[in-house]
Chain A
Amino acid sequence: MSQLGSRRLTADIFADSHRISTQMALRGRVLSDSLNDANTSYLELDIAYVSRIDHPGEILADYALSIVRKDRLTFVVVATGLEMAIKQNATTYAYRRQWPVFITVPGFEITGQIEAPTNIDLRALMAIGVERFIPIFNGKATLSMNQTIQFSGELILINKTAIEVLCIGDKSTQ
């Protein structure tokens, strides 16, 4: 039987000191395309639920209209709904594989898997190019100052310009 859920995509957007939860009606476009769309620097949200990072479960307030500067947000967590968040390669190319990663961004450390060629080139990976946001699959973001606070999701999209350190493990875990 299928799952009972929403047709909207729920995403948690993290900036330096806030967590913004939102439910998006994506109108046919996946979230990563909206984030990577270089024609606009902003992401408009229908309703935003605002929490502070140190009490991320508590909702301070909700707002009917808000706009986010894409270059200033750190990362976005999608707990479930991968198909609404990113276009998936129909075929997995033989020369691509999953790599375990460890990434630090301000306030957080993030682990998960990236998909990259077998002869991975980290400089090419970090280049802004066409994609400002790098997708991390089965990701987990841990607040560095309080490791009991964790956010995990099928997908975490990280703003490359927020990345301080990116480390790649040698063997894939899957």
Chain B
Amino acid sequence: MATILVIDDDLDFQQMLRLMLQRGGHKVITTGDGPDGLTKAKQLKPDMAIVDVMMPGMNGYQVVRKMREDPDTAGMSILVLTARAQPVDREAALAARADDYIPKPVAPNELLAKVNELLAHHQSAQGPAKQTTSVLSLRGGVGVTSIAVNLALGWQARGRSTCLVDLQAGPGQAALHLRLNARTTWIDWAISGDTSTNGLSKFLLPHTSGLSVLAAPIVPMNLPAPNRVTTLLELLRERFERVIVDAPRIWDATCAAAVLAADNIWLIIAPEVGSLQSAVGVLRALKAARISDERINLIANQIMPNPGLVLPAIEKALGQGFKGSLPYDEAQSGAIGQGVPLMISQPDSLFAAAIKQLIS
């Protein structure tokens, strides 16, 4: 059973749709106009919205675009159902980033089949509803921030509302990679003492992609108590579908909290001796913290064109295989300088494509 929001100004049609979807086993919420539809979508977080196009004031395409822009509704399945039934109308619906389009009139069983197909596809394509991933390395400079930033953008682009948290005491670079001004930071939030999901909002930096960022300070600050980190990650998980953590480079209480809160740990290893040695240490620390192996993913990152070690040698030394390997990409350092990550400027670059592959 899914919850479906129907936005259609034709009240008769709305009622027919309600009955039909209810008979199909779904819970239905209806509304006759776009602005109310957006409010209901944000508050009630339905699994799917069925949106009419010809509605006065705010048309269906505008509704769909707004849904996709708002991190709270970006990941929802959206079906456009309209009497504007021409091929150009289908293109317009898909251009607004609806998942699919059906012209009216439609046979009830055909519509129900489409709805169920979209819901099933959505679930299998998007993985679990909520996921926290901590990107980790105790060796500096192996690409943790580059990976965390592009991973977060990758999820956001797939329609998952995502928050990137830079858990450094400072200076943190995630905001720099995204050319955001770190006017508020996670430490400011910790000091505020707030414990509500709403209270978080004013500390989040919005990125044009729709991604939310909780930055680290530029000037190093004293770390808050580790329970604040745990609370923070819990609140973010409530609010977002994907939380990506740029974990600290030292094994302290903040780092431990980030690791414990994560469903997935991406342990980043560059193919060089120093990084290998550090990874051996991290794996021991994770074992001591009783983190199960399934949660640990080894990711190789080729930060240099000529690696010092080959991956099989590293796998042998660690007794564990890589889940993925990110290729050397000379465009990456330029992307940091420009403040536009490759996932945005060159989504088909080697680096961005390899990250997309890992989350598909």
Contacts and interface: CB of A to CB of B under 8 A. Distances in A.
A4 B13 contact: yes
A7 interface: yes
Contacts of A10: 54, 83-85, 104
Contacts of A7: 12
A77 B89 CA distance: 14
Interface stretch (A58-66, A111-119, A160-168): A58-66
B86 A150 contact: yes
Contact of B86 (A4, A12, A23, A47): A12
A5 B89 contact: no
A8 interface: yes
Interface string B41-59: 0000000000001101101
A59 B59 contact: yes
Nearest to A77: B86
A149 interface: yes
Given A5-B106, A59-B59, A59-B61, A152 B92 contact: no
Contacts of A23: 10, 54, 83
A94 to B, nearest CB: 33
A21 interface: yes
Contacts of B10: 6, 8, 23
A58 B86 CA distance: 12
B13 A5 contact: yes
Contact of B85 (A3, A47, A56, A79): A79
B20 interface: yes
A33 to B, nearest CB: 21
Given A23-B83, A56-B88, A79-B86, A4 B61 contact: no
Interface stretch (B107-115, B165-173, B174-182): B107-115
A151 B328 CA distance: 49
A98 B297 CA distance: 69
5 contacts: A3-B106, A12-B86, A57-B86, A58-B61, A58-B92
Given A49-B54, A56-B88, A79-B85, 12 more contacts: A3-B105, A5-B13, A5-B106, A6-B12, A7-B12, A49-B59, A49-B84, A58-B92, A59-B53, A62-B57, A79-B83, A150-B86
Interface of B: 10, 12-13, 16-17, 20, 53-54, 56-57, 59, 61, 83-89, 91-92, 95, 103-109, 111
Interface of A: 1, 3-8, 10, 12, 21, 23, 47, 49, 56-59, 62, 64, 77, 79-80, 149-152
The 9 A-B pairs of least Cβ separation, nearest first, read A5-B105, A57-B92, A3-B105, A10-B83, A57-B88, A79-B85, A56-B88, A59-B59, A5-B104
